[in-house]
Amino acid sequence: MRKVVYFKAGVVADFEFADEQYEEFASQMTERPSQNDAPLLEQSRGMLERRVSDNDQSPMTDQDLGAACFIWFYFNENSDPNARFEGDIVVVDEAGDGRNIQYAPTSQVRLSSVN
């Protein structure tokens, strides 16, 4: 299983997909993603954001699956080694307004609650 985790203003949604689904998606890509693909990254993020905003609990559509796969593909296969992550991805929109989006590998995210 692979995963893109979306955090938006305190709401968290997991977009999980099987390795086979990702491999099928990746086999259709003709080259590694690059900075030129940033508009596609933003479009894919926007698709997942709508599901988070709508609190959509229904199964992912093919479009949602494609969006999650593209985000995973963009960071795991990026042609720029400095932009490449390894493993699952977290998308963070802390304010929830879509203006300051951050991405990180889930393996590097550490959260702490202080009550």
pLDDT digits (tens, 9 = 90+) for 84-101: 999 999 999 988 888 899
pLDDT digits (tens, 9 = 90+) for 29-42: 999 999 999 999 99
Residue 18 predicted with pLDDT over 90: yes
Report the alpha-carbon distance of residue 72 to residue 90 in Å, rounded.
Answer: 9
> How far is the C-alpha of 38 from the C-alpha of 109, rounded, in Å?
22
Pairing of strands 89-93, 102-105: antiparallel
SS3 for 92? strand
Give the residue extent of every domain in the chain: 2-108
Task: Of 82, 78, 12, give the one whose Cα is nearest residue 41.
Answer: 78
Q: What is the dihedral angle through the alpha carbons of 49, 21, 63, 39, rounded to the nearest 10 degrees? A: 60
